[in-house]
Amino acid sequence: MTQDTDDQAAMAQWAQENGEGDAGTGGPDWGDGGADGLLGAERILNQDEIDSLLGFDLSEDDAADRNGIRAIINSALVSYERLPMLEIVFDRLVRLMTTSLRNFTSDNVEVSLDNISSIRFGDYLNSIPLPAILSVFRAEELDNYGLLTVDSNLIYSIVDVLLGGRRGTAAMRIEGRPYTTIERVLVQRMVEVVLQDAQAAFEPLTPVSFTLDRLETNPRFAAIARPANAAILVKLRIDMEDRGGRIELLLPYATLEPIRKMLLQQFMGEKFGRDNIWEGHLATELWTTQMEVRAVLDEQQVGLSKVLNLKVGDTITLNATPDSLVELRAGTIPLTRGRMGRRNHSIAIRCEAPLSPAAKKAVQKRLK
Contact 286, 232 (CB under 8 A): no
Q: Can you tell me the distance from the alpha carbon of 143 to that of 104, in angstroms, rounded to the nearest whole number?
A: 29
pLDDT of residue 336: 85
Model confidence pLDDT, tens digit, residues 149-190: 999 888 888 888 888 776 655 555 556 678 888 889 999 999
Q: What is the CATH number of the domain that holds 122?
A: 3.40.1550.10
pLDDT of residue 274: 62
Same domain, 110 and 241: yes
Same domain, 68 and 101: no
Over range 3-7, report the average pLDDT. Answer: 61
* Mean pLDDT of the chain, nearest integer: 78
Strand partners, 306: none
pLDDT of residue 300: 82
Same domain, 106 and 209: yes
Please count the structural domains in the chain.
3
Q: What is the three-class DSSP state of 344?
A: coil
Same domain, 211 and 350: no
Provide the residue range defining the domain that includes 102.
Answer: 80-263
The answer to whether position 196 is within a domain reads: yes
Model confidence pLDDT, tens digit, residues 67-79: 666 666 655 555 5
The answer, yes or no, to whether residue 50 has pLDDT greater than 80, is: no
Same domain, 113 and 243: yes
CA angle 348–350–355, rounded 5-degree value: 125
Same domain, 62 and 92: no
Strand partners, 214: 136
Confidence band, pLDDT 50/70/90 cuts, at residue 191: very high
Same domain, 70 and 84: no
Residues 213, 215, 218, 219, Cα dihedral to 10°: 50
DSSP string, 231-287: EEEEEEEEEETTEEEEEEEEEEHHHHGGGHHHHT-SSTT--SS--HHHHHHHHHHHH
Strands 27-28, 21-22: pairing kind: antiparallel
Residue type at 299 in one-letter notation:
E
The answer to whether position 6 is within a domain reads: no
